[in-house]
Structure 1
């Protein structure tokens, strides 16, 4: 038998084929049906077991590895009768469970070269590259698959995001539009195009585009649907449509799967951006913090821990200090492949974020000043990491000294130049120019020429 992408399978059981296709098709299209493979948890197919383990690891919690372990052990026990492709995928998931992300990525690259239509492996490899800031690695994976899988729209979406994260914006837009032309419901391509438009300051166009395709965001996993609405909220914030941005937070970003890591950090980062734009978020931090309080011992990804900590601190929860202590302790003994990201980036960033939440501008500048030059090492996209830069800028302004205001002016003016439609940036720039005794900023709100 073969899966729906033409990859040979060891099993000849039709139920195994259904389970495999549920996972593969759902995973590459960001649809919730990928989780349907769990219904076949008793299937003796090594690949089905490995896919079940994958889903458990995606929980990104302290329980993820223990929950995945029984499936991974069954996959490894049956690996001798699996194909080389299946065995390599099992090995990659095992490396992930052991925290050896370097080895996992190497195996996914091998898979892309030898089995370029194994798009589940490709997407998982991109996930790992993304989480360590290896944007060229994301792009290499997609390019390796492209000649053999150009008929699959989701390959072009994966290619688009790799290109965008490598700042190849024209190429990224072309790839995203090709994916969408092949199938309108391609949320990952929508997401990649939103990144391009945000980066280029095409804010009104980006908002209109995302609204025009939002009717297709049905049946998706909670991360994909909430994250695309998150992007829409960013456009609304920059365009000064504060009430609409708050409504998107309440209706589409927070509350889909409140227990899921990605939904939680999306909510944290959006609430933080709303506040940094001068928007009153009321008691929303309190509801969110109730879920973050259970994350004190996770330490799955530094990018996640930082946002858990900031959300707890903004809610005034004492667990924020405990999480900082736990991060410092974990970083000292973190796995070799991620040790530097934890110790040299996450720890100072965590100290800076906690300081900001407590109104300590000097502490914010000290901690984030150390972390920002290496922030890419903890993963996240350009748009996601921008939160930390906004916090740093806010601390520069709050410090109010001649030197920090001068630094803030330089940063802000460059951002205004890149995003002339942004009312959010105009407000901040007006504040800084007034504090510096300079004439109010002349703001050009005309669309940028492309």
Structure 2
């Protein structure tokens, strides 16, 4: 019996496959592109090899992912009798994912964390599912279950940091992130968690300086991790009023790494939308992005993804926005049971509201987004990512222009300014609303240049 680099027994039929398994496990938990190297061992019929290959195909987050993953998970299941108990549970969790039963997948990953706390690929995958269903306590719970046994692995502290941050436990989040970075300066998930903390707490100048300082370590990462960390850099730049630099980050580091990948696409949609909401001209950038989004009208992998595909298509004036909206309406009532409520009660109204806003229909935007926002966490994504939809709703309130809508906008904006006094973007927006209400512009702390 061989073991992987974390000490977990692996029942591979070819000793050379152990290295490929380690490439997946360590590459996956460190967000490095080398995780795909497990595919080179795909000829090894060992169940755990086949399960890892199935998981990789599922991470494509496309309508073809399930079909591409299914042969691998079927082979994994057929040989599971020769696998270890740890491997059998991991196989069952991936099989549940392929079948669309995310609740069962999460349950199995939580059991794995308690019984086999050194199975960190299972931990990372369990956090992924919790994240996509808005289960922030679940993200933290599964990380803490492994922490004592895996405290020597910096990536576990990074995963715990993000779980803490999503539960709004900022001091614990920062402490865990900094511990991870002390152990391994090249820990991009910990960088990401700390960026979340600093953005939430309004530490914009500090956050920008930190992310720019560690950006030299973002090498060899998968496209999501590198583009998403640069996405965070762009958020700091937008709020600090450094518009040209933010656009340059979009052009050079966010869009164009892997244009066909879901996460790269939604990162680009989110940034372009935020640019426009901040009053920054994006030129013809929507059109290039929409050429890739147009292929997504039948995906329906995650509601969080579909909403951003739709908004990007609507902003580009593409008819595929209407096709995607019809497809969402048709798919939601027959979505897998464990995610159906998120599709029906959140994604459907939000989709109608986002298309309306993208087409300039402000009453429609207010109606659809107003219904969805109270339950928005159910579609997953981070607080910072979901903030896009809140910004769109706020923009609709301002553009509606009635006394009632402007009053609502003023209350929301001033609370945000109070939390983030460095933000030039928020200050400009708040001042404009005050003027529209016939009120004097408030005194603000001077933002750094």
1:12 CA drift (Å): 5.4
Find the aligned partners of 1:36 and 1:12 in 2 and give their Cα distance: 17
Q: Is residue 2:367 matched to residue 1:342?
A: no
Question: What SS does structure 2 have at the residue aligned with 1:61?
Answer: coil
> TM-score, normalized by length of structure 2?
0.99
Q: Conserved in 1, the CA contact under 8 Å of 2:257 and 2:264?
A: yes
Find the aligned partners of 2:260 and 2:303 in 1 and give their Cα distance: 18
Find the aligned partners of 1:253 and 1:241 in 2 and give their Cα distance: 16
Question: What SS does structure 1 have at the residue aligned with 2:338?
Answer: coil
Find the aligned partners of 2:446 and 2:425 in 1 and give their Cα distance: 12
Match of 1:111 in 2: 112
User: What does the per-residue CA deviation read over 1:72-99, in whole Å, with 9 as the maximum and x for residues that have no partner?
Assistant: 1111111000000000000000000010
Find the aligned partners of 1:268 and 1:175 in 2 and give their Cα distance: 30
Find the aligned partners of 1:14 and 1:81 in 2 and give their Cα distance: 16
1:15 CA drift (Å): 1.4
Question: What SS does structure 2 have at the residue aligned with 1:148?
Answer: coil
1:10 CA drift (Å): 1.2
Q: Conserved in 2, the CA contact under 8 Å of 1:229 and 1:253?
A: yes
Q: Conserved in 2, the CA contact under 8 Å of 1:16 and 1:45?
A: no
Match of 1:217 in 2: 218
1:11 CA drift (Å): 2.0
> TM-score, normalized by length of structure 1?
0.99
Find the aligned partners of 1:285 and 1:15 in 2 and give their Cα distance: 46
1:446 CA drift (Å): 6.0
Match of 2:165 in 1: 164
Size of the aligned set, in residue pairs, is 447
Match of 1:179 in 2: 180
Question: What SS does structure 2 have at the residue aligned with 1:14?
Answer: coil
Find the aligned partners of 1:101 and 1:257 in 2 and give their Cα distance: 27
Deviates more, 1:24-33 or 1:10-19: 10-19
Q: Is residue 2:376 matched to residue 1:405?
A: no
Q: Which runs of 5+ in 2 are unaligned?
A: none
Q: Conserved in 1, the CA contact under 8 Å of 2:14 and 2:44?
A: no
Find the aligned partners of 1:444 and 1:327 in 2 and give their Cα distance: 45
User: What does the per-residue CA deviation read over 1:187-235, in whole Å, with 9 as the maximum and x for residues that have no partner?
Assistant: 0000000000000000000000000000000000000000000000000
Match of 2:285 in 1: 284
1:14-53 alignment runs, 5 A limit: 14-53=15-54
Question: What SS does structure 1 have at the residue aligned with 2:67?
Answer: helix
1:430 CA drift (Å): 1.1
Question: What SS does structure 1 have at the residue aligned with 2:385?
Answer: helix
1:343 CA drift (Å): 0.2
Find the aligned partners of 1:234 and 1:90 in 2 and give their Cα distance: 38
Q: Which runs of 5+ in 1 are unaligned?
A: none
